[in-house]
Amino acid sequence: MFNIISGILLIATFIALIVYCMKGGNLLIGFIVTSILWCIIGRVPVTTIVNDVFQASVESYGKTIAIIVFGAWFGRVLVDTGIAGYIIKKTVELAGDKPLVTTLLLSVVCSLIFTSAFGVGSVMAIGMIVLPILMSLGIDKKVALGTYMFAVAAGMYLNIAYVSQFFAVFPNMTYDNKYIRFAVIATIIHVAIMIIFILFNYSKQKKGKVRAWAAQAASKEAKPIAWYSAIVPFVPIAMVSFFKWAPVPSFLLAIFLGLLFTNNLRSYKLAVEKVQKTLYDGIADSGLLIGMLYSVNIFQAAAKQVAPILSDLLGNFIPSSPVVILIAICILAPLALFRGPLMIWGSGIALVSIFQAMGVFNEAYLFMLFLIPPVAIVASACPTQSWTMWGLSYTKVEPKQYIKTNLPWAWIICAAVEVVGFILIGMK
């Protein structure tokens, strides 16, 4: 009887958390408060709450936080040294006076840049170069914003700093060759559908007079640097994939090369200033994210303590067939919007914990299921994503219009990548 009453109370607080998240509530506060409530409802011993839920859960996240910080630092190096701007400028020059070709090339290039660049600051800084270019070429602002967000999201499957966040929830998963193979295919699918999105919207749009690249005013930030600096964004992935380096030294090597190739190491004073500024900005970019991820870990630790109660209550109602769960997530993919139950960095962390407690699904399968919606749906179509909120403000696009423009295509991406992930990862 106790388990039934407790289970009902846990579900009630879980629903309250979903509502709170979807209304835009502060995630850090929401997760911590719910963690405390779940521990009280589950009658978790105080020593366990103090030592395991609030202390050990945060301590165990140190490795991942280091990767996030170095990834955000590297993202700032790409922006502040002018490497990102240089790559974008050369891409536009290559496309010439062809708006469609420019849009396609810029989108693909941005997708490649964000396979390594990380952090909301990097997205904003590069967006302030790319978005004016697209809009100055006559691309509708909602399509320009949608295209850029699809491009940013496309890079996340391979982005070491982004993917590493999930390893705290799925500790036995690693950024290995098996995952990289899936991530490459997922990126190709994402980019392919993004290209169809661009072609579809461009064909609908009336062709007005295409102006010359009026956005050259924005491109003045692109410094004259050596052509070989363009390899820097791909150094971290190359070192991890081919040379089996750990992420942090891979980012450090890329940071060093980025500063070296752009003449920022020509004097000790300049080197110190650039290192300090980019590191400071990178940490600032990732600070709120780190706080939210800490609270997610605390919540997951609390969920583990009450997992047997939830498993007893829900075990007979949740399908145990991997195929059924896969189909359900493909159909219900929009529930990842507004930090809903399919967004792991939202109320979805509770659903993940319930699945883990059931012990029916292997870790690789759950990892695949819950990695994809945050990229395909949230990063591509949700107005609550931090850099999307900036983009909506910058382009003056209404959130409803943004969702209407991007969500159908994001839904297709999510379903397609989920099926591929199930074949490559979930069935193993």
Please give the Cα distance from 409 to 228 (Å, whole number): 35
CA angle 134, 191, 411 (to 5 degrees): 100
Q: What is the mean pLDDT of the chain?
A: 87
Whether residue 352 has pLDDT greater than 70: yes
Out of 96-110, 125-139, 220-234, 241-255, which region has the weakest mean confidence (pLDDT)? 220-234
Residue-wise DSSP of 354-400: HHHHHT-S-HHHHHHHHHHHIIIIIHHH-TTSHHHHHHHHHHT--HH
* Structure confidence at residue 215 as a pLDDT band (50, 70, 90): very low
Q: What is the DSSP string of 224-235?
A: ---GGGGGGGGH
Q: Is the model's pLDDT at 3 over the cut of 80?
A: no
The pLDDT tens digits of the residues spanning 251-280 come to: 999 999 999 999 999 999 999 999 999 999
- Tally Cβ neighbours within 10 Å of residue 25: 14
Is pLDDT of 216 > 80?
no
Q: Over 90: is that where the pLDDT of 292 sits?
A: no
Spell out the alpha helix ranges (H) of 221-267. 235-242, 247-261
Q: Are 194 and 149 in contact (CB under 8 A)?
A: no
* Lowest mean pLDDT across 48-52, 137-141, 154-158, 376-380: 137-141
User: Which amino acid is located at 387 in the chain?
Assistant: W
d(CA 18, CA 338): 9
Other residues' Cβ atoms within 10 Å of the Cβ of residue 412: 17
Confidence of residue 206 (pLDDT cuts 50, 70, 90): low
How far is Cα 264 from Cα 281, in angstroms, rounded to an integer? 17
pLDDT of 190 higher than 90: yes
Three-state SS for 182? helix
User: For 137-153, how does the pLDDT look when each residue is reduced to its tens digit (9 = 90+)?
Assistant: 888 999 999 999 999 99
* Interatomic CA distance for residues 39 and 304, integer angstroms: 10
Average pLDDT over residues 125-138: 88
Confidence of residue 212 (pLDDT cuts 50, 70, 90): very low
Please state, for a pLDDT cut of 70, what percent of the chain lies above it: 94
Tokens (6 digits) for 262: 């752009």
